């Protein structure tokens, strides 16, 4: 599925309210066997807003990075249950609308997690360590080196850090509608550049 308008994307972002990254285990938050947390503790709507707000604070001039943070997990809605493919589904869907760089940042958010798991295996908060296995586990040294050579690697890691921090239960991070004009701006710039055919 490809998103062709900001309107369509906004509808999808609003639909993130009450949607979770682990649709099969929506609110039980605890693993039945050991009490281990599964999935994120906030819904995809709050997670999107918190991630984007953190990036706006840290990188105020980089609107593309901010909207990448906003939309990075919409793959969970586009193809529910396909955790391994969620970054690719989101990246493919937004590419025609938001352009190549935003699409690549979204695509890299899983790789960046694997990279961070490699670089500092104990540095990730407990909830994040459960996902990399399903999404490929830590990187091999060769994969990590290749990742570091990607020109977007640093931005992807910045997004990932906001992603991992943007999971605070009950934290208000703004209104989804506040992002409509920012999305329109990025979409207009992308259309003007004509970078995507
Ligand atoms: Fe994700
Ligand atoms: Fe996320």
Is the pLDDT reported for residue 114 higher than 80? yes
Q: Is 73 exposed, middle or buried (0-12, 13-18, 19+ CB in 10 A)?
A: buried
Tell how far the Cα of 33 is from the centroid of ligand 2, in angstroms.
25
Nearest ligand to the C-alpha atom of residue 106 = 1
**Would you state the pLDDT for residue 39?**
75
d(CA 167, CA 22): 14
d(CA 157, CA 13): 23
Q: Which residues surround ligand 1, an ion (CB under 5 A)?
A: 73
d(CA 131, CA 116): 12
Question: What is each CA distance from 169 to 41, 64, 70, in whole angstroms?
Answer: 6, 26, 17
User: pTM here?
Assistant: 0.87
At the topology level, CATH places domain 6-193 in Hypothetical protein af1432 (1.10.3210)
| Structural domain boundaries in the chain | 6-193
Tell how far the Cα of 72 is from the centroid of ligand 2, in angstroms.
6
Tell how far the Cα of 60 is from the centroid of ligand 1, in angstroms.
22
Tell how far the Cα of 2 is from the centroid of ligand 1, in angstroms.
18
**What is the DSSP code (8-state) at residue 163?**
H
Condensed to tens digits (0 to 9), the pLDDT of residues 8-63 reads 999 999 999 999 887 554 444 555 544 445 678 899 999 999 999 999 999 999 99
Nearest ligand to the C-alpha atom of residue 76 = 1
d(CA 15, CA 33): 31
H, E, C per residue of 165-196: HCCCCCCCCCCHHHHHHHHHHHHHHHHHHCCC
Strand partners, 30: 37
**Would you state the pLDDT for residue 36?**
45
Nearest ligand to the C-alpha atom of residue 49 = 2
Tell how far the Cα of 136 is from the centroid of ligand 2, in angstroms.
16
Which three-class secondary structure state does DSSP give residue 121? coil
* Greater pLDDT, 30 or 175: 175
Tell how far the Cα of 132 is from the centroid of ligand 2, in angstroms.
12
Cα–chain center distance at 66: 10
Tell how far the Cα of 22 is from the centroid of ligand 1, in angstroms.
11
The Cα angle at residue 73 between residues 33 and 49, in degrees rounded to 5? 105
Are the beta carbons of 98 and 124 closer than 8 angstroms? no
Are the beta carbons of 96 and 3 closer than 8 angstroms? yes
Please count the other Cβ atoms lying within 10 Å of the Cβ belonging to residue 108.
25
Strand partners, 37: 30
Nearest ligand to the C-alpha atom of residue 110 = 1
Q: E strand or H helix at 120, and its extent?
A: none
**Would you state the pLDDT for residue 48?**
98
């Amino acid at each position: 599925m490809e998103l062709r308008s900001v309107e369509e994307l906004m509808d999808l972002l609003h639909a993130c309210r009450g949607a979770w990254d682990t649709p099969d285990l929506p609110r039980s938050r605890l693993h039945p066997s050991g009490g281990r947390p599964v999935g994120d503790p906030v819904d995809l709507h709050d997670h999107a807003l918190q991630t984007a707000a953190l990036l706006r604070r840290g990188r105020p001039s980089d609107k593309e990075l901010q909207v990448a943070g906003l939309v990075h997990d919409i793959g969970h809605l586009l193809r529910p249950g396909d955790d391994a493919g969620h970054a690719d589904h989101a990246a493919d869907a937004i590419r025609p609308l938001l352009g190549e760089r935003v699409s690549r940042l979204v695509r890299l958010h899983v790789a960046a997690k694997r990279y961070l798991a490699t670089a500092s295996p104990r540095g990730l908060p407990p909830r994040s360590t459960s996902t990399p296995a399903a999404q490929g586990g830590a990187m091999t040294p060769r994969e990590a080196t290749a990742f570091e050579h990607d020109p977007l690697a640093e931005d992807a890691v910045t997004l990932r850090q906001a992603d991992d921090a943007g999971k605070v239960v009950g934290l208000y991070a703004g209104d989804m509608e506040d992002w409509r004009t920012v999305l329109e701006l990025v979409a207009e710039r992308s259309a003007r550049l004509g970078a995507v055919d």
